[in-house]
Amino acid sequence: MQELTRAINNHLSCEFQASHTYLAMSIWLRERDLAGFSKYMQTKSQEERGHADRLIAYLVDCDEQVELPSVDAPQRSWTSAQTLFDNAYEMEQAVTASINRIYSIAEKAGERSATAMLDWFVAEQLQEEAEARFVRKRLRLAGENSAALLLLDQQFLDGTALSTVKGGPGQ
């Protein structure tokens, strides 16, 4: 269990860093009057914090030691909304890779409770990456068209932008 605990504690930094980064992205978008995108990133920030809380609860419930990580100051400037969402997608891929490493450790150790808990994270990461991929594609389609960017932003504000995104088979 020691290797698994260490891996989960290391992963906490991914979740807290993602939360912090999404908050910085939300601020940057808000500063550019993209309120819909900003609201979405604010929600993503809160979700990432919730992911960390879930992992912390698991460690505490298993009588394992929780080690809260330091969080680096996130990037605060992007050249475009496209670049920002490209970075978000890359960040989600890194989080997925970390979850997969933890899952492998849990399987190797025969820790069924850990794999059961991590199943939720695997499904969540499928959805996270699907959303980021979808937004990146939409922004590419919008290109330099400000009207298209504002329409997409409004869809985020209305909560309709991701209504057709699927995270994987059967979702």
**Residue 168: its pLDDT value, please?**
46
User: CA dist 92 to 51, 67, 158, Å?
Assistant: 13, 22, 24
Distance CA 66, CA 83 (A): 34
CATH number listed for the domain at residues 2-68+77-158: 1.20.1260.10
User: Directed axis angle between helix 146-158 and helix 35-61, to 10°?
Assistant: 50
**Residue 101: its pLDDT value, please?**
98
Per-residue pLDDT of the chain (171 residues; tens, 9 = 90+): 899 999 999 999 999 999 999 999 999 999 999 999 999 999 999 999 999 999 999 999 999 999 999 999 999 999 999 999 999 999 999 999 999 999 999 999 999 999 999 999 999 999 999 999 999 999 999 999 999 999 999 999 998 999 888 654 444
